[in-house]
Amino acid sequence: MLPQLGWLAMAVSEMVWDLSQLVENTEPGAIQKVLDSMVVEAGKVRERFHGKIGGLDAKGVLELLELRDALLLRFEGAVMYGYLMYSADSTNDVAKQLNEASRRATMRVSQALAFIDLELGKLLAAKPSLIGDLVLVEFRHFLERLLRRVPHMLSETEEQLVIVKDKNGIRAWELLQSDWLSMRTFTIEIDGEKKTLPYGQMVGLYQSPDRDLRMRAYQTVYDGLGQDDIIWASAIRAVCEDHVRMCEMRKWSSPMTQSLIDNDVDEEAISSLMKTIEKNAGLYQRYLRLKAKLMGLPKLANYDLLAPLAKGPSTTYGWADARRKITEAYREFDGQVGDWIAEMYERRHLDGEVRKGKTSGAWCNSWLAGRSAYILQSFNGRIMDVYTQAHELGHAMHSYLLSRAQKPSNCEVGSCMAEAGSIFGELLLTERLLQEAKTQEEKQAILAVVLDEFGASAFQVSARVLLEQAIYDSIKKGQFLDGEATAKLWVEARAKIHGDAVDWLDVMKWEWTKTPHYFIANYRFYNYPYVFAQLFVYALYRLYKEEGKGFVPKLKALLSAGSSKSPHELAAQFGYDITKEEFWQKGMKQAEEFINTLEKTL
Ligand SMILES: [Zn+2]
């Protein structure tokens, strides 16, 4: 690639990413050609191996898996290019066309190669000794995970039938829930003016510094949602009851089994995690009471949970300032990691500019072939945006380590571990920000951001886990779950976590209606990984504080392992057992530290 002209590079904002590094030639025609050849190459793999995997020995399996990994690395840049370009600006015609081309090509490749996991699974079931074969040592855990799925696979015809029945069955219910929610509009008075807003905009009012507006926003939304309880209840019932039937057919021993397999964890670890949460609900309630004090309230109401502390405008941060703070935070942890973070900015792998047509939210996309990553966010200069950037760069740190240590097959990190780098990065930033904070108010604002997030991910999400469990228990007992019955289960689950530290508006019993996770077809128990991730990283951070620099190589080894080891094995490397409450309690200890620090600022 030719070096960019100096004046041109100067003209480009450093908040706009440079995607040209992903491909040799950025001409749309050239990218299309690369995508076409990807489909052809996948076809060749299919031709060679389809129907023949059952006869392969260890060497043959190795060749197949390496071929699939090589295919991914070779075409990864071209596949990412269109998708990333489109996410940054969906109004761009070239981006639309390339994104569509990339989506189509990827779909054809995954269809062509779907036989690999199926045939390989059967081979492993017949010859489990292959997993221990030294030739396949790098793929050991990948194969173990595959084998764990085999007993739950149905015949080819049945699997096809499941797809057909789901399309107009539970997938339709899932779609109805999300469409119904996004189509709702709500009328609310803002600054003396009546406004009719869609759900997405109403949610934005939850963080308004105006307490009365926040209260009315919640009241209006849930009043509206509660009126359609028959729809939400029918949807959740259909999705959950279908899952119960599928558990019987697929021989999943409990409604959680599917999710445990997907997340590479076992029931013991999750139940000890949830026990730790319930035992420490008092600690969370202590924070909620502290927050009430900081806000000058006798008690928090539900509409204060996500609210900012300050009533007035809060400190804003420029891009350069955020870049410096974040880079330094990572560099203080480790020089090599600091260099990588600096490189992310220097090579312009972040897109922070706010623009029309840009997708909402923020994410980090690994670029394994380039041993790097790309990050998208809309940077508005709020403290939250600085945290989001540090979070996404933590994912990038994970990608840098992973891509240097593992084959792509070992880079499919499950939900429980996927946030290990990102949440850790947020804590590194916290340390830095607290060092630099000049006033008590600044310190309070930082700690409130951190503890609000911890509370939301570890505790509020736990209430959702409890609701999921309660729903399946009720179905098992043959109870009919209409809207009111489901709302009752939600209120009970909520109380176990929040105790009497929060006053709830009556309509908040309908809060479960808006949570898409309950309605996702064929993917149940999606909530506990958030709790797991949060507490896992807090425990690691605690160890970092205790062990100092000696901990650094351990964390790097953990992130480098990717999915080549289970979370259980990874924690064992630190000398901990995730099936024991002692490990999770370490995470609580760190949260308690933050709460103590916050208390001292009063
Ligand atoms: Zn994340």
Mind listing the pLDDT tens digit for each residue in 151-209?
999 887 888 888 888 988 998 999 899 888 888 999 999 999 999 998 888 988 998 98
Q: Which phi and psi (to 5°) does residue 263 adopt?
A: -95, 5
Average pLDDT over residues 315-319: 89
The Å distance, Cα 256 to ligand 1 centre, comes to: 23
Q: What is the DSSP letter of 312?
A: S
Strands 193-198 and 185-190: antiparallel
344 has pLDDT over 70: yes
Indicate the length of the chain as a whole number: 602
The rounded Å distance from CA 248 to ligand 1 centre is 34
The CA 424 to ligand 1 mean position distance, Å, reads 11
Residue 437 in contact with residue 386, Cβ under 8 Å?
no
Q: For the segment 224-244, what is each residue's pLDDT rounded down to a tens digit?
A: 999 999 999 999 999 999 999
CA of 251 from ligand 1 middle (Å) equals: 32
600 CA distance to ligand 1 middle (Å): 30
**In the chain, what percentage of residues exceed pLDDT 70?**
98
- Locate all alpha helices (DSSP H) within 186-318, ordered by sequence: 199-204, 211-226, 229-250, 257-262, 267-279, 281-294
Q: Could you tell me if 266 and 275 are in contact, meaning their C-beta atoms sit under 8 angstroms apart?
A: no
Question: Is residue 421 over pLDDT 50?
Answer: yes
List the beta bridge partners of residue 301: 503
pLDDT at 359: 85
**CA 242 / ligand 1 centre spacing (Å):** 30
Q: Alpha helix (H) ranges present in 455-551?
A: 461-476, 483-498, 528-547
Look up residue 572 and give its two tokens.
Answer: 């064992």
387 C-alpha to ligand 1 centroid (Å): 11
Contact 443, 601 (CB under 8 A): yes
User: Ligand 1 mean position to 281 CA, how many Å?
Assistant: 24
Q: Is the pLDDT of residue 471 over 70?
A: yes
CB 411 within 8 A of CB 343: no
- Cα of 391 to ligand 1 centre, how many Å? 6
What b/e sequence results for 173-182 when a residue is b if at least 16 CB atoms lie within 10 Å of its CB, and e otherwise?
bbebbeebbe
Centre of ligand 1 to C-alpha 396, Å, is: 10
The confidence score (pLDDT) of residue 435 equals: 93
Question: What is the band of 12 on the pLDDT scale with cuts at 50, 70, 90?
Answer: low
Q: Is the confidence at residue 312, as pLDDT, over 70?
A: no
Residue 292 near residue 601 (C-beta atoms within 8 A)? no
Share of the chain above pLDDT 90, in %: 83
What φ, ψ does residue 47 adopt, rounded to 5°? -60, -40
State the distance from the centre of ligand 1 to the C-alpha of 589, rounded, in angstroms. 23
Of the listed ranges 43-57, 101-115, 470-484, the least confidently predicted one is: 101-115
pLDDT in tens, 515-537: 888 898 888 898 999 999 999 99
Q: How far is the CA of 62 from the centre of ligand 1 (A)?
A: 32
- Answer yes or no: is pLDDT of 303 > 80: yes
Q: Strand 350-351: give its sheet, edge to edge.
A: 350-351, 372-376, 363-367
Residue 51, burial from CB neighbour count under 10 angstroms (0-12, 13-18, 19+): exposed
Which residue intervals of 251-382 are DSSP H helices?
257-262, 267-279, 281-294, 319-333, 335-346
pLDDT at 313: 58
pLDDT at 311 over 80: no
| Residue 562 φ/ψ region, left for φ over 0, alpha for ψ in the -120 to 50 degree band, beta for the rest | left
- Six-digit token pair at 203? 């949610």
What does the pLDDT look like over 434-448, one tens digit per residue?
999 989 988 999 999
Mean pLDDT of 386-412: 97
Distance CA 362, CA 26 (A): 25
> What whole-number distance in Å separates Cα of residue 327 and Cα of residue 344?
10
Q: Supply φ then ψ for residue 193, to 5 degrees.
A: -120, 130
How would residue 1 be classed by pLDDT, with cut points 50, 70 and 90?
A: very low
Cα(490)–Cα(73) distance, integer angstroms: 45
Q: What is the pLDDT of residue 2?
A: 39
Distances (CA, A) of 503 to 219, 226, 499, 506: 13, 19, 10, 9
Q: Which of these ranges, 269-278, 304-313, 351-360, has the smallest mean pLDDT? A: 304-313
Angle, in degrees to the nearest 10, between helices 552-561 and 383-405 = 70
Q: What is the pLDDT of residue 11?
A: 47
- Indicate the DSSP class of residue 5: P
Q: What is the CA(422)–ligand 1 centre distance, in A?
A: 6
Find the 347 Cα to ligand 1 centroid distance in Å: 22
In the block, residue with structure tokens 């830095």 = 432
Going from the Cα of 57 to the center of ligand 1, the distance in angstroms, rounded, reads 39
Chain mean pLDDT for the chain: 93
Q: Mean pLDDT, to the nearest integer, of 470-475?
A: 96
What is the full DSSP assignment across 124-147? HHH-GGGGG-GGGGGGHHHHHHHH
Query: Could you report the per-residue pLDDT of 206-225, keeping only the tens digit for each?
Result: 989 899 999 999 999 999 99
Strand 363-367 and strand 350-351: pairing?
unpaired
Q: What is the distance in A from the centroid of ligand 1 to the CA of 393?
A: 9
**Assigned token pair, 201:** 């905009």
Q: What pLDDT score was predicted for residue 401? A: 98
Q: Kindly report, residue by residue over 245-274, the tens digit of the pLDDT.
A: 999 999 999 999 999 999 999 999 999 999
| Distance of alpha carbon 548 from alpha carbon 568, whole angstroms | 23
